[in-house]
Amino acid sequence: MLLKKLADYKIILASNSPRRKQLLAGAGIGFAVETTGVVDESFPADMPHNEVPVYLAKLKSQSFRPLREKEVLITADTVVICNKQLLGKPDDADDAARMLRMLSGNRHEVLTGVCIRTNEMTHTFVSSTLVDFRPLSSDEILYYVEHYRPYDKAGAYGAQEWIGYIGIQSIEGSYFNVMGLPIQQLFVALDQLL
C-alpha cells in the first residue's frame, strides 16, 4: 500500500496553495511544504493551451533546490480554458470580474499539470475536468469578487467557495482537480512510481 511505502520517503509539496495542502493531507500523505520562491510563470506564446500546466509544473520543479536521497517533490499548476482562451490567476478585481463574466453560462475546462520528481526520475501528467456554470448575475459576480479571494485561483474562482456552490451546474471529471490537485491520480501515480 502506498502509505506504507511513503514511510521511507520525505514528500515535499512545493506550493503555497492551502487547497493543495488540504487535499494532500486528506489523502493521508505526510508531507513538508517547501517553496521555491518566485518563479517566472511565463510560457511560449505559441504553446498549445493543454501543454501549459505541465510546462509550468515542470518549471516550478526545476527551480527547486537539489533533491536529496529519498526526497519526492510534487509541483502543480492549474489553468482554465474558456472559449479557447487560457485563464490563469486574475491581476485585480476587474480582471477577476471579467473572467467570471466569461465563465458565466458557459462550459470551461480546468487543466492541472502535476510533476513528481526524485533524483532518479521525473514524471508528469495532466488532469482535465469540464465544468458548466449557470448564468451569473452582475451582482453575484461583484459579491464574490468583493467577499472572497479570487486572486490566487485560475479562472478567478474556487469550486469550494460560494461561487462554486451557487454557480456550478455540473462537473465532468475530478472535483479535486478543479480545486487544484487531482489527488486520486496523484495517489495512483505515486503508488506506481515508488
Please list the active-site residues: 77
User: Which residue do the cell numbers 533533491 mark?
Assistant: 67
Number of H helices, E strands in the chain: 8, 7
Asked if residues 113 and 53 have their Cβ atoms less than 8 Å apart, the reply is yes
What three-state secondary structure class fits 123?
A: strand
- Alpha carbons 73 and 31: distance in angstroms, whole number: 10
User: Which residue do the cell numbers 458557459 mark?
Assistant: 106
Close Cβ partners of 194 (under 8 Å, ≥ 6 residues apart)? 2, 5, 6, 9, 72
